[in-house]
Amino acid sequence: MHGVTVIDDAAQSPGLTLMFGSLARAYGVKVAQEWTAPNSNADMSAQAAQWVSNYAMTLPQSGGEDFFIHDGTTKDVIGFPIYTGFVGTLQGMSGSYPQQPAAVYIDYSLAFGNPNGGNLLTPEDAISNVWLGDQAGFAVVTSQEVANGAVNLSQFKAILPMNGVDATLRSYQSGGGTLLTSGSQLAQFAPAYAHLDNSGSLQTVPAVASNHQSASITLAVINPTANYNGSVTVSPGAVFDMANGMFYDSGGIFSGGGTRQMTSGILTLRTNVLNGLSLDGGTVLLGPGFQQAGVITNLSLSGAVLAGVGDRLLGARRALALQGLRSRPRASPHRPSRSAGRNRNPRSARTGWD
C-alpha cells in the first residue's frame, strides 16, 4: 500500500517488534529492525540473541536488519558476531508470522490530542511482559488503526486492553466481543507455540511457510543469567534442528517421535551428552568438566566433527560409540572479523541488508 520501509529501533523488545509487525501488516509497509544495545555488558549477548530471534515477528513485511557499528565498542565485539552468524538464516526466512484470533489493544488517542486517552508511557514493555507469559500469535492493535479503518475488531474473539477501556472497546464488547482482564487469559484464545519448563529464559518465534504446510521456530536464550535446562519434546512429524548457532548443554533431555538433531553450528558439551539429540553435523567441543574430568566415557556422533579432544580421545580405554567420527585440532582463539561495513574513522557506520 505504501512504498516505504519503517525502522523498528530497539527491535530487541518483543513488545515493540510485535506492534511494528502488526502495524506493518495492517498498512502494507516493510519493517527493518535495528538493535539498541543495553548499557550492561552482562546483558549484551542475551539481548542480541533476542533481537535477531524477533525477526519473524514482522513477516511477511520484514525489510531486513540494520546493525549500527560504533567502531570497537563492546556492542561490536559481542553483538556483531551474533548478528553475522545468524544473518544468513534470517535472509533465508520467508512465510508469515502466525496470527491467532486474539489481540492486545492500545488506546493511542492521547498522542492525537485526547487528554483523556490512555497512558502511553511504556506500552511496549507491558506487551513484552504479556508475550513472555504467552508466546503466541496475538496481534497488537491501536485505536488509530480502528479509527481509520485499517483494522476491524470484529475479527478477534478476545481483546486485552493495555491502557484502559475506551469507547471503541466498549462498542466491541457490546457487540459480543470478549474483553480480557489479564494476560494469563490470552492462552484460552491464543495458545502458546511451545510449553516451556523454564519461563523467562527461552524465546520461541515461529514462521509459517507460504503453503501453510510447515513452519520453522527460532529459539533464543534471552536471560543473561539463566539457561533453559528443561526437557524438549518433539511431536511426530516435527523436526527440531539445531543449526547455525553456538550451543551449550544445560542438562536438557530430548524425546518424542519427531526428528531431534544438530546439523550445523558449534555445540559445547560442558557436563555430559544431550540424551535424545542426534549429532548429525556441525562441530562438537568438550568442556573440561565433561563426563569424567574431561575424559570421554560415552559419546555418539553421526556426522558431527569432534574438535580439540587431543589425547583424551586417543588414550581413552573406555566405551566409545563414535559413528562416522572425524577429529581435528581446535583452532586458536581469534577475534571475529568485522570487515563488512567497518568504518575505520571515528564516525559511526551502518551495515545491514534488505
The 10s digit of each residue's pLDDT in 285-321 is 988 888 888 788 888 899 999 987 654 443 333 333 3
Q: What gap in Å lies between CA 195 and CA 49, rounded to an integer? A: 20
Helices (H), 134-275: 143-147, 167-174
Q: Is the pLDDT of residue 335 over 50?
A: no
Residues 101-125 have a mean pLDDT of: 94
CA distance 348 to 159: 42
Residue 115: exposure state from Cβ atoms within 10 A (0-12, 13-18, ≥19): exposed
**b/e map of 278-293 (b: 16 or more CB within 10 Å)?**
bbbbbbbbbeeebbee
CB 270 within 8 A of CB 251: no
User: Residue 341 in 3-state DSSP?
Assistant: coil
Q: Give strand pairing partners of 246.
A: 266
Beta bridge mates, 103? 139, 159
- Grid cell locating 173: 464488547
Bridge partners, residue 178, by sequence: 158
Contact yes or no for 159/182 (Cβ under 8 A)? no
pLDDT exceeds cutoff 70 at 337: no
- pLDDT at 241 exceeding the cut of 50: yes
Reported as a single tens digit per residue, the pLDDT across 74-87 is: 888 888 888 888 88
DSSP assigned state of 171:
H
Determine how β-strand 283-286 pairs with β-strand 158-161.
unpaired
Helix (H, G, I), strand (E, B) or coil at 22: helix
Q: Is the pLDDT of residue 325 over 50?
A: no
The residue type found at 146 is V
Name the burial class of residue 276, with classes exposed (0-12), middle (13-18) and buried (19+) by CB atoms within 10 angstroms of its CB.
middle
Band of residue 192 on the pLDDT scale cut at 50, 70, 90: confident
The top-scoring range by mean pLDDT among 121-125, 156-160, 252-256 is 156-160
- The rounded mean pLDDT for the chain is 83
* pLDDT bracket for residue 330 (50, 70, 90): very low
pLDDT over 60 (residue 28): yes
Asked whether the predicted pLDDT for residue 353 surpasses 60, the reply is no
Judging by beta carbons within 10 Å of its beta carbon (0-12, 13-18, 19+), is residue 60 exposed, middle or buried?
middle
Q: Which residues of 175-192 are buried (b: 16+ CB within 10 A; e: fewer)?
A: eebeebeebebbeebbee
> 229 and 198 in contact (C-beta within 8 Å)?
yes
Per-residue pLDDT, 223: 86
CA separation, residue 154 to residues 98, 114, 169, 187, 231 (Å) = 18, 24, 11, 19, 39
Q: What's the mean pLDDT in 43-53? A: 92
- Categorize the per-residue pLDDT at 255 as very low, low, confident or very high, splitting at 50, 70 and 90: very high
Q: Are strands 215-221 and 202-208 parallel, antiparallel or unpaired?
A: antiparallel
% the chain with pLDDT above 70: 85
75 Ramachandran zone, left/alpha/beta (phi>0; psi -120 to 50): alpha
